[in-house]
């Protein structure tokens, strides 16, 4: 028995009905004040090869240079760790996005500005992510066309999908539902990376300048 505690466990201990949210004295507002920034999430969505990771990396570098405290969550990187047990079925994609949204929310609670780069092809999942994260959710649609993405085909994924070697590939055998009310839209076929980053920062400047 741990000194000072009398802990009794039974079969009900692990039930969700017995969970209690503990309010902590050091909250998000205090962490934001310490970091001197408003925490929020920049949620980048778009086809494979659209340029999400490239823009996200450049955006984080700019924010870092501005003295902002950030964390970048990239689709491939997260699937190699936290979500390594998930595949690409519809159900697994839903769970993939749900987990990322929960992680982003925790990082926002820590006072960080979070940048995510995920295909997140379904509107319902993006809306669910917005509900989880809350008012700090900002959607950036990287609108690069499938023709341009397939022309690049950096990872050879479109070719493999066309040959039937990859099932459930977004844009080929699985749909991508275009955001209807994105906060920011950029197209890497028409804008270079620096221009995309400048545009995103301009659109989000009120959040970046908000005092805490």
Mean residue pLDDT of the chain comes to 89
Domains defined for the chain, CATH in brackets: 34-209 (3.40.50.300)
Q: Over 50: is that where the pLDDT of 12 sits? A: no
Confidence of residue 2 (pLDDT cuts 50, 70, 90): very low
CA dist 113 and 62 (Å) reads: 12
Distant-in-sequence, close-in-space partners of 130: CB < 8 Å, separation ≥ 6: 43, 137, 139
What does the angle CA 99 – CA 185 – CA 46 come to, to the nearest 5 degrees?
Answer: 45
Instruction: Tell me the per-residue pLDDT of 141-200, one tens digit each, with 9 for 90 and over.
Output: 999 999 999 999 988 999 999 999 998 899 999 999 999 999 999 999 999 999 999 999
CA dist 5 and 63 (Å) reads: 45
Q: Over 80: is that where the pLDDT of 91 sits? A: yes
pLDDT, residue 17, reads: 75
CA dist 182 and 179 (Å) reads: 6
Q: Over 60: is that where the pLDDT of 65 sits? A: yes
pLDDT, residue 20, reads: 79
174 among known catalytic residues: no
Is there a contact between 89 and 46 (Cβ–Cβ < 8 Å)?
Answer: no
Q: Over 70: is that where the pLDDT of 210 sits? A: no
Residue 84 annotated as binding site: no
Residue 48 annotated as binding site: yes
Confidence of residue 7 (pLDDT cuts 50, 70, 90): very low
Instruction: Tell me the per-residue pLDDT of 103-154, one tens digit each, with 9 for 90 and over.
Output: 999 999 999 999 999 999 999 999 999 999 999 999 999 999 999 999 999 8
- The active-site residue out of 120, 143, 145, 211 is 120
Token readout for 140 is 């950036």
Residue 50 annotated as binding site: yes
3-state DSSP assignment of residue 59 = helix
Confidence of residue 4 (pLDDT cuts 50, 70, 90): low
Residue 106 annotated as binding site: no
Residue 49 annotated as binding site: yes
Token readout for 58 is 């450049």
pTM for this predicted structure: 0.86
pLDDT, residue 168, reads: 85
Q: At what angle do helices 193-203 and 52-65 cross, to 10 degrees?
A: 60
pLDDT, residue 21, reads: 75
Residue 207 annotated as binding site: no
For residues 55 and 76, the model is more confident at 55
Helices (H), 87-204: 90-109, 123-133, 146-152, 157-162, 193-203
Residue 204 annotated as binding site: no
Confidence of residue 16 (pLDDT cuts 50, 70, 90): low
């Amino acid at each position: 028995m741990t000194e000072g505690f009398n802990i009794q466990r039974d079969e009900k201990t692990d039930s969700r009905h017995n969970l209690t949210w503990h309010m902590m004295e050091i909250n998000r507002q205090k962490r934001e004040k310490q970091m001197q920034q408003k925490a929020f999430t920049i949620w980048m969505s778009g086809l494979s090869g659209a340029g999400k990771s490239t823009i996200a990396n450049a955006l984080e570098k700019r924010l870092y240079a501005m003295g902002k405290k950030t964390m970048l969550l990239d689709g491939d990187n997260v699937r190699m760790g936290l979500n390594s047990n998930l595949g690409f079925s519809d159900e697994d994609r839903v769970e993939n996005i749900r987990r990322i949204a929960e992680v982003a929310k925790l990082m926002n609670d820590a006072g960080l500005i979070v940048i995510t780069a995920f295909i997140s092809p379904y509107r319902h999942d993006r809306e669910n992510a917005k509900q989880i994260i809350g008012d700090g959710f900002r959607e950036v649609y990287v609108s690069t066309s499938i023709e341009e993405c397939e022309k690049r085909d950096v990872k050879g994924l479109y070719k493999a999908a066309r040959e039937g070697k990859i099932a459930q590939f977004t844009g080929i055998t699985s749909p991508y539902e275009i955001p209807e009310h994105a906060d920011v839209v950029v197209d890497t076929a028409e804008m270079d990376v620096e221009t995309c980053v400048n545009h995103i920062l301009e659109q989000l400047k009120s959040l970046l300048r908000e005092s805490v």
